[in-house]
């Protein structure tokens, strides 16, 4: 029988009150945590813990709400020798061979216990055809973050990003930080469209800094965005980051994406005190952008006047006013939403919702968007069969 004393300190916040809960775990039996024969080939790796020695004990700190205290012989004899080998480079069998002075049963039962309580994780890498060693090293911090949510699928999430094809439409100010964030996250193919008239030499100079062996970049320009541009390279996702884009253009993009089942996200009101991010639209699953616009319009005080601006063919555009950090924050949040959606690590915050930021107070809010049953794009009327008594009479 192997004796081990561990103390878990968990802090739970309920309202303004901070409560502590302590759980004492004693007397772990060898058989309960004994590793199976097939697990001897596994490569185990210590999770993100800060470890210190204090008066004959070992303290493992994951964060301020999770601390493990190990006392007894285990903290002074076995663990100090075992922990340096838990770096993902050694198989369980190799660890046994390296610690011959300690009996195998004690090592195996300790490894089993560490695994059961998620102090260590399996670090078996995927096929190098799917993810190279260089890519694993480049995105190791991101892969480790994925492991907090789904340890068994952490590499699959990174592979999903590598296989993803993302198209971006917008202005240079927003495209550069967005592309940088997507490249740094490992998105495989990125195509960005910029309006014609932009200084191409400046654009090329900036994007040369983002050259990466992990992502394939394609640069294109356009006068008027068409369906062929939106669907270029059969994208898995579309990002619209243009502060001057019109509602008509957004409606056109919404209809095209709905018809071709392309998820997409945009922002609006960048020149205002409050900026809206989203909604992230997944055709046939969430409310579409038209649902959002119609609900938004129904709550406007100056509805008639704003409709005139929306339907106007020619406008005198004044440059938007904002501070440079707004662009970085906005681009970072949009890129984060795309990464969450494509990897599946967690549900995107703007999925069927909008996220507003007040740039003066930095206050944020999340608002749910409800699907409109009579939406002209995604409503049930559009998909309903022909009914002669419901159709207008033709003269």
Give pLDDT tens digits for 241-272.
888 788 888 899 999 999 999 999 998 877 67
Q: In which element (H, E) is residue 54 found?
A: strand 50-54
Which tops the pLDDT comparison, 207 or 138?
A: 138
Q: Is 101 exposed, middle or buried (0-12, 13-18, 19+ CB in 10 A)?
A: exposed
User: Average pLDDT of 275-296?
Assistant: 92
pLDDT tens readout for residues 359-392: 989 999 999 999 988 888 988 655 555 544 444 4
Residue 393, token pair as written in the block: 């009479």
* Range 234-238 average pLDDT: 94
Q: What's the confidence (pLDDT) of residue 356?
A: 93
Specify whether the CB–CB gap between 109 and 34 falls below 8 A. yes
Instruction: Give the range among 54-63, 82-91, 207-216 with minimum mean pLDDT.
Output: 207-216
Per-residue model confidence as pLDDT tens digits over 170-202: 887 888 889 889 999 999 999 888 775 555 554
pLDDT at 160: 92
Inter-residue contact 162 to 183 (CB < 8 Å): no
> Which domains, from first to last, does the chain contain?
5-122 (3.90.930.60), 164-383 (3.40.50.720)
Split at pLDDT 50, 70, 90, the class of 16 is very low
CA distances from 45 to 42, 135, 138, 144, 146 (A): 10, 18, 18, 11, 15
Q: Record the pTM.
A: 0.74
First and final CA of the chain: distance in angstroms?
Answer: 92
């Amino acid at each position: 029988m192997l004796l081990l004393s561990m103390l878990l300190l968990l802090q739970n916040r309920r309202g303004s009150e901070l409560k502590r809960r302590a759980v004492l775990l004693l007397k772990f039996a060898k058989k309960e945590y004994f590793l199976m024969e097939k697990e001897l080939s596994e490569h185990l790796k210590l999770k993100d813990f800060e470890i210190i020695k204090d008066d004959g004990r070992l303290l493992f700190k994951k964060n301020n709400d999770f601390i493990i205290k190990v006392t007894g012989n285990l903290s002074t004899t076995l663990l100090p020798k075992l922990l340096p080998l838990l770096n993902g480079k050694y198989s369980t069998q190799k660890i046994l061979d390296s610690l011959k002075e300690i009996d195998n049963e004690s090592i195996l039962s300790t490894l089993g216990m560490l695994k059961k309580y998620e102090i260590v994780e399996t670090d078996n890498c995927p096929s190098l055809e799917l993810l190279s060693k260089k890519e694993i090293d480049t995105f190791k911090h991101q892969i480790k973050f994925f492991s907090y949510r789904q340890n068994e699928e952490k590499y699959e999430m990174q592979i999903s990003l590598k296989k993803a094809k993302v198209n971006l439409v917008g202005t240079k100010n927003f495209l550069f930080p967005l592309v940088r964030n997507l490249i740094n996250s490992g998105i495989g193919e990125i195509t960005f469209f910029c309006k014609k008239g932009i200084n191409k030499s400046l654009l090329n100079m900036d994007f040369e800094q983002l050259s990466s062996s992990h992502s394939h970049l394609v640069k294109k320009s356009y006068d008027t965005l068409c369906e062929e541009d939106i669907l270029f390279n059969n994208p898995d996702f579309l990002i619209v980051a243009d502060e001057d884009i019109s509602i008509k253009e957004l409606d056109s993009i919404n209809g095209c994406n709905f018809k071709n089942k392309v998820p997409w996200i945009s922002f609006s009101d960048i020149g205002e005190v409050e900026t809206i991010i989203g909604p992230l639209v997944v055709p046939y699953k969430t409310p579409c952008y038209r649902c959002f616009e119609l609900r938004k319009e129904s709550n406007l005080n100056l509805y008639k006047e704003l409709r005139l601006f929306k339907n106007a063919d020619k406008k005198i555009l004044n440059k938007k006013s904002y501070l440079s950090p707004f662009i970085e924050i906005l681009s970072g949040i949009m890129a984060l939403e795309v990464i969450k959606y494509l990897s599946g690590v967690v549900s995107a915050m703007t999925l069927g919702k909008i996220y507003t930021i007040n740039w003066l107070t930095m206050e944020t809010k999340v608002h749910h968007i409800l699907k409109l049953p009579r939406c002209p794009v995604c409503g049930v009327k559009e998909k309903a069969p022909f009914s002669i008594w419901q159709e207008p009479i033709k003269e």
